[in-house]
A and B are shown apart, each in its own frame.
Chain A
Amino acid sequence: MKHGILNRCKVPEQWRTALLWLFFLFWVVVIFFRLLQIMALNREEYLLDLEHGRNWRYETVSAARGRLLDADGRPLAWSTRHFALVWRVPSETVTAEEKWRQISEKITSDSALSKGRAAKDRAPGRRVHLIDSLTAEEFRNLQPLVDKLESVEIKAYFQRQRINHSRLRQLIGEVETKQGMEIGVSGWEQEHNHLLRGTPGVLKVRLDHQRRPIPETREIVRDLREGHDVYLPFRINSNN
């Protein structure tokens, strides 16, 4: 039987299976040379890069999601930025007690104090949101604590708001937060996600000998790009 190009090349039938062997041989050789490059030829470069990486930490900055607007520019869905105080509870009880003592001196909110006390005892090794939405004054007062304790951080996050209209809310859809980014999962939010979703920025910051970030050394690696606003082709009745 004649079989296309391989037979025109006079390849015996039983050598077709050599395709299997040659295909993977070629691929494995490529992988080997890549390993050789990383582990032998350019090893010094990678090790220098690693040393450099140890002293630096990369942080991502979430980009604001674009707004959904009607034809006249009335907002239907928009994101608001909030700042949360997050504590990574140490695994060891003694350390947790000591850290909590330092944190509780700076916190005045009763709900945050009770959350922290509960987390200290029952959630070792976990991240706990002590305060979900910091005010400007709280932010200012807690910044020294964050700089002092590595296990405490102020984390920015977005919360999606929607117009107060049940039918429109259904059409607008929902968003989910994933790795700090809001992603549309239903309705118009999903349909226009590629426009609404921005690109997070990346910063790098040098670490000191105790592996705490040195704020003055923050550098932008990649600029963030905020999401685009999307104008929908209808007008909401201002009486609704």
Chain B
Amino acid sequence: MKFFNYITAIPRRGITPAVLICLGLSGLGCLAIFNATFYLQDPYEHLLHQLLWLVPGSALMITAAALPSSWLRTLGIIGAIFFYILLVGAIFFGIGVDSIRGLLSWRGVLIQPAELARPFFALVLALALHHTRKHRQDWFLGSTIPFLFLLIWLIPLLSQRDYGTAAVLSITFSLVFLCLGGSFQHWIGNSLASLPILALVVRFGSVGRDSLNSLSILNQSFSSQTQVSQFQHALASGGTFGQQLGRALESPLNLPPDQDFSIFAALGQSLGLLGLTSLLLLLMAWVVYGWRNCGRIEDEEETDIDVFRPAAIIGLTSLVAAQACLQLSTNLGLLPQLGLQLPFITYGVNSMFSVFITIGLTESVIRSRLN
């Protein structure tokens, strides 16, 4: 009876304002995809494909948002172990697409463990920092152990040349670590100490080719540079107020629809600078939402406060925000290509599921904190 009550309560518990806004953004993403692909022989192919995956993705988000708080820690550990095994397995059994090797193929569906593991990484990180909270100023227990945790995740990612996910996880870790009272000196010291290890992994442990060259903006392949300039041309054609709303004609001339940035470029052409600014404001709204719901992290008088929840909120918020900022930066020519996708706007299943699960888990943690 209790289980039945729980199941029937899922829709009410899971559908929060943030979840509804995310569903709205997903709809906008579908429109953006149609906007960029209407000129193809089958104009509805990409749109229908995205809608098809939106249904299970939305269900995942609502379910994650409805999870009881007592499940989150166990779920985080199980999910992290499961996807970590898949991540390592992808090194040996994975297939390569473009420059990323870490894909598993199952009955025609491409699974990218690196994308799907991100929310669980944030949960386990929060758990690790919670358990070491009393030793925050200790160099070994408070700093080195969490850094080792990060290294364990970065090594298989860099072996597969998934620099984008590695960057997202590093930024997330740094923010959570520093926000929770981690020593800045320890952060600098451990970061510098990690660099040689990571450089060795990239140089000798990579299963891909041309690892180092792809990190340099100057040495990137010509096609990659061309795509970035095409992206910028499509944006420029949008101007301040946008052109050809609903029918982005510039990007189809230059950008293939399966590129992760072409949808955003088409949207930029249609909505203009003002429209894209509203997307940036939404991104900041997400960050502020996470920040405002962190709550109190530490108090000098209370040494046994639960830091799992605020750490999880900061981590999950940072995952989505860092991914979006990195993706935009790479395609505006501010950073080298990292192979990331823009949340909600990009045509891609693994990224969509990962972002939906992240947002759902954030809602669950926030609800548990408020309770």
Binding site for B on A (CB under 8 A): 1-6, 13-14, 16-21, 23-25, 27-28, 30-32, 34-36, 38-40, 42-43, 46-47, 49-50, 53-54, 58, 60, 91, 178-179, 183-185, 190, 193, 197, 200, 202, 222
Contacts and interface: CB of A to CB of B under 8 A. Distances in A.
B180 interface: yes
Interface in B274-296: 276-277, 280, 283-284, 287-288, 290-291, 294, 296
A153 B321 CA distance: 45
A43 B318 CA distance: 32
A39 B235 contact: yes
Contacts of A49: 229, 233
Interface residues of B, number: 60
B183 interface: yes
- From B186, B222, B291, B297, name the one whose CB has the most chain A CB atoms within 10 angstroms: B222
Contact of A179 (B221, B277, B290): B221
B334 A3 contact: no
Nearest to A91: B41
B194 interface: no
B151 to A, nearest CB: 22
A21 B178 contact: no
Given A3-B136, A31-B280, 11 more contacts: A16-B181, A17-B294, A17-B310, A20-B179, A32-B277, A35-B277, A40-B240, A43-B236, A43-B239, A58-B222, A179-B223
Contacts of B321: 24
Contacts of B136: 1, 3
A182 to B, nearest CB: 11
A31 B137 contact: no
Contacts of B226: 58
Contact of B332 (A3, A19, A34): A34
B317 interface: yes
Contacts of A178: 209
Interface of B: 41, 136-137, 175, 178-181, 183-186, 209-210, 221-223, 226, 229-230, 232-233, 235-240, 250, 253-254, 268, 272-273, 276-277, 280, 283-284, 287-288, 290-291, 294, 296-300, 310, 314, 317-318, 321, 325, 328-329, 332-334
B137 A4 contact: yes
B184 A4 contact: yes
Contact of A50 (B184, B236, B280, B318): B236
A94 to B, nearest CB: 15
B240 A32 contact: no
B291 A1 contact: no
Given A13-B297, A43-B239, A47-B237, A60 B222 contact: yes
Given A3-B183, A47-B237, A39 B325 contact: no
Given A16-B179, A24-B325, A35-B273, A222 B222 contact: yes
Contacts of B283: 24, 28
Contact of A28 (B240, B317, B325): B325
B153 to A, nearest CB: 20
A20 B174 CA distance: 10
6 contacts: A13-B181, A20-B179, A30-B334, A39-B272, A39-B276, A46-B235
6 closest pairs, A vs B, by CB? A46-B236, A4-B183, A50-B233, A39-B273, A5-B184, A24-B287
A39 B239 contact: yes
B41 A1 contact: no
Contacts of A42: 236
A159 B185 CA distance: 54
A49 B230 CA distance: 10
Contact of B185 (A2, A5, A19, A54): A5
A19 B183 contact: no
A3 B181 contact: yes
A5 B238 CA distance: 45
